[in-house]
Amino acid sequence: MNPKTTVTVTTEPGGGNPTRFSSGRLHLGDRLLKSITWLSAASIIIITIWIAWQLFVFSAPSRHKFGWHFLLTKTWNPVSEHFGALPFIYGTIVTSVFALVIAIPLGVGAAIFLVEMAPRKVSGFLAFLIELLAAVPSVIYGLLGIFLLIPILRSAVVPALKHTLGFLPIFKGPFYGVSVFSAGIVLAIMIVPFIVSVTREVLLAVPREQREASLALGATHWETVWKVAIPIARRGIFGAGFLALARALGETMAVTMVIGNDPTIRASLFSPGYSIAAAIANEFTEAIGRMYIGALIELGLVLFGVTFIINGVARLLIFSTGGNGYES
């Protein structure tokens, strides 16, 4: 005979149901957790809006005096209080784009090696080193740029470029060391780890079945990578490039140390330049007067807007089509 199972239900005084009481406590905890997480998420939006509003408010003197001409004027003269952001915008864009031209092929190539070709132990170790490189302070890259990179550029790289591509306007003129060219290469070294990390994750997200199907049809390993994996992960790779561009646009210390800090627009990459972040870092502590401070804050507003837009586009590219960073 099967023994009978006895279930004892204990009720609290007053006929209360302990099960219903526990459920009520659980529901209360769920509501509390939901409220806390909602407030945490909302605080990010509030902080972003607050930063943008503060930049907008404190840049009022410059905005009211110069208007949209602030973005198109070349003159930056604190003495006469005549300010224009065009040299800084030009320097920021040129150094960032030049860095991307160098960093994207290196980063994507390294990511392909880590995912498709390197043994698992080697890939994991190198991925760890790449993450460490991303955490190195930017001032260290600036010091390496001054004492290690610029001498190499002056003695070997720049003479070779002048000899082979000296007919191009971007490679003409004297090279003094601190220049847009040096700043672009330092930026490229700094953003390569970001490109490698994001591209590696995107390539790892490509379905294994896609690779196996390509190999089963007779494609070589390289054909599978070039014609299957990379096209599927194309949007994620573009997103990695945009994220690296946003990182390069906002870089301050390393660029300040090697760009030359000259607010003049020149075609040659060998000439000194100036970036928005470098201008703010160099001049804000010495700024006197509402107009001077307002112009620097408006530079920050311009940089904030550009970086915000680029990061948004990058996130949309990475998480589009199901949020995996690749096309289905």
DSSP 120-154: HHHHHHHHHHHHHHHTS-HHHHHHHIIIIIHHHII
Q: What is the pLDDT of residue 310?
A: 78
Residue 200: partners with Cβ closer than 8 Å, 6 or more residues away: 111, 114, 115, 127
Q: Which structure tokens are listed for 89?
A: 């915008």
66's CB contacts (< 8 A; 6+ apart) are 73, 83, 84, 295
pLDDT recorded at residue 92: 92
End-to-end CA, the chain: 60
Could you tell me if residue 76 is left (phi over 0), alpha (psi between -120 and 50 degrees) or otherwise beta? beta
pLDDT at 179 over 90: yes
321: left (phi over 0), alpha (psi -120 to 50) or beta: left
* Global pTM value: 0.81
pLDDT of residue 27: 78
pLDDT in tens, 73-105: 898 988 888 999 999 999 999 999 999 999 999
**In this predicted structure, what is the pLDDT of residue 21?**
45
Domain ranges of the chain: 18-58, 62-319
pLDDT, residue 251, reads 87
Confidence band (pLDDT; 50, 70, 90) for 318?
low
- Residue that has been written with the tokens 């599927």 in this structure: 232
Q: Other C-beta atoms within 10 Å of 150: how many? A: 22
Q: Would you place residue 271 in the very low, low, confident or very high pLDDT band (cuts 50, 70, 90)?
A: very high
CATH class of 62-319: mainly alpha
Q: Could you give the percent of the chain with pLDDT greater than 70?
A: 88
